[in-house]
Chains A and B, each alone.
Chain A
Amino acid sequence: MLARAPGLTAAAWIVAKKDLAIELRTKSAFLSVIVFTLLGLVIFFFAWDSTAVSALDLAPGVLWVTFTFAGLLGLHRSFGAEMQDRAIDGLLVAPIDRESIYLGKAIANAIFVSAVLVIAVPAVALFYNLPLGRAVLALGSVAVLAAIGLVAIGTLFSAMAVNTRMAELLLPMLSLPFFVPIVLTSAQASTQLLAGRPFAEALPWLKILVAFDIVFVVACTVAFPHTLEE
């Protein structure tokens, strides 16, 4: 009856599909993150003095700051679901590499935050009257790369923080310093693209973003099994 246990990527996909099925069933995290994102954008919009700062200067920062904090809300629940009734033990006794648990969680989180971005980016364009049309594909690639970096870091720290009594505080405290290079490069690339500059001018920032993504994904995957030791 027992076939061969799934390999790293197959097991990761099984874990990711399970996480997405749970989110689709409950929708609780997605709705709360979307509401938080839209409220954040509204507050920034009403606090904005359009005579002092132009929309093009402000909007990328607003987008990535709002998205970073909204993403943290979603990432927090990633391992929270595993701790309820100790479902994580079921994963740990399964014949799969522990790295695949991390990768599965990260894939599900990346899809989750990308879905948030699909709503957040047009919302920013609407509030600040930005010319999204021409730059939409390039902005999409920035969003995907930023999501990968944020999720790689956030998923690892979510696993570390979830067993502590102050998980809600610990996750942002651990994650935010590591988010800085991702947010910085994403905001710079977005500014260039929204200003209508050629894609080539945003490319150096995208290359840095790709480099950070590779480093964070590899380092966090290797570090993850050690976060599970009791």
Chain B
Amino acid sequence: MSAPVPAVIASSLVKQFGKRVAVAGIDLTLRAGECLALFGPNGAGKTTLLRLTAGLLKPTAGSVRVQGVDVRRDAHARANVGLISHQSMLYAPLTALENVEFTARLYGLQNPRVAARTALESIQVLDWADTPVRTLSRGLQQRVSIARATVHEPTVVLLDEPYSGLDETGAAALTALLQSLRARGATLVVVTHNVGEGLALATHAAIMTDGKFARLERRDDSRGFDAQRYTMEYRELVTHAG
């Protein structure tokens, strides 16, 4: 019996913007249900790596595949991916429900309105379903954005600073949502500056500097994983990179 296809596999992945190398040869394999917490200073290439994985950027060299498929070439394979970005990716004049329902229609969900309401409920923002997004606070917009990105129940979820702007209720709802996604076998890549939040769910942790993994390790390997040591080392790396 052949081994299952990795959920995410990046091989010698390089991305250059002009002369600037944003991602400099990343190799990464994540299987179903695994979660990578990705740390690193500003400009380390974390967001570029997520955008490459989502198919928003074309690699300069190397390749990245989701469920064994290059999502840039196969439009339908993009249905496996959910992306939560710095920006909300929402239309300000539309209501929260209209935004999420629009996404549900793009993904061909059978009952887009029901799916949208379910997604909004899962992140505890259903009470604001009929409110235009432009009148929502930053934290509530972030929650609607999370609902938009997960309405189609993606198998690979890419999260760029997902806790940014969330209050305690929102953060708890997001953690619960991510736990339920993982329980369903979804693979997560979480970019964050908060080591504690990142490590809470992670099976893998990586520190990225200058477009490369300065460290990449499994949290559950035989050598054990010392979160406190990791936090200190991360801070040291960020200080040096800064």
Contacts and interface: CB of A to CB of B under 8 A. Distances in A.
A84 B99 CA distance: 14
B92 A84 contact: yes
A92 B83 CA distance: 11
Given A14-B102, A93-B81, A2 B89 contact: no
Contact of A230 (B57, B76, B81, B85): B57
User: For B58, B107, B110, which residue has the most chain A Cβ atoms within 10 angstroms?
Assistant: B107
Interface string B123-160: 00000000010000000000000001000110000000
A162 to B, nearest CB: 15
A89 B57 CA distance: 11
19 contacts: A2-B153, A3-B109, A5-B79, A6-B108, A14-B102, A14-B106, A18-B94, A21-B94, A21-B98, A22-B91, A81-B91, A85-B88, A90-B83, A90-B148, A91-B106, A93-B83, A94-B78, A230-B17, A230-B56
Interface string A56-89: 0000000000000000000000000100111101
Contacts of B106: 5-6, 11, 14, 91, 94-96
Nearest to B105: A14
Interface residues of B, number: 36
Interface in B176-217: none
Top 6 nearest A-B pairs by Cβ distance?
A: A86-B87, A90-B89, A95-B79, A94-B106, A5-B108, A25-B93
A1 B184 CA distance: 14
A18 B91 contact: yes
B87 A85 contact: yes
B55 to A, nearest CB: 7
B92 to A, nearest CB: 7
A50 to B, nearest CB: 44
Contacts, number: 95
Given A86-B85, A93-B55, A93-B56, A2 B105 contact: no
Interface of A: 1-6, 11, 14, 18, 21-22, 25-26, 81, 84-87, 89-98, 229-230
Interface in B61-103: 75-79, 81, 83, 85, 87-94, 98, 102-103
A86 B56 CA distance: 12
Contacts of B103: 90, 94
Nearest to B95: A25
Nearest to B153: A1
Contact of B108 (A2, A21, A81, A93): A2
A60 B110 CA distance: 49
Nearest to B114: A1
Contact of A4 (B77, B108, B132): B108
B87 A89 contact: yes
Contact of A95 (B76, B132, B153): B76
Given A93-B78, A230-B57, 9 more contacts: A2-B152, A3-B108, A5-B108, A6-B105, A85-B89, A87-B90, A89-B89, A95-B75, A97-B75
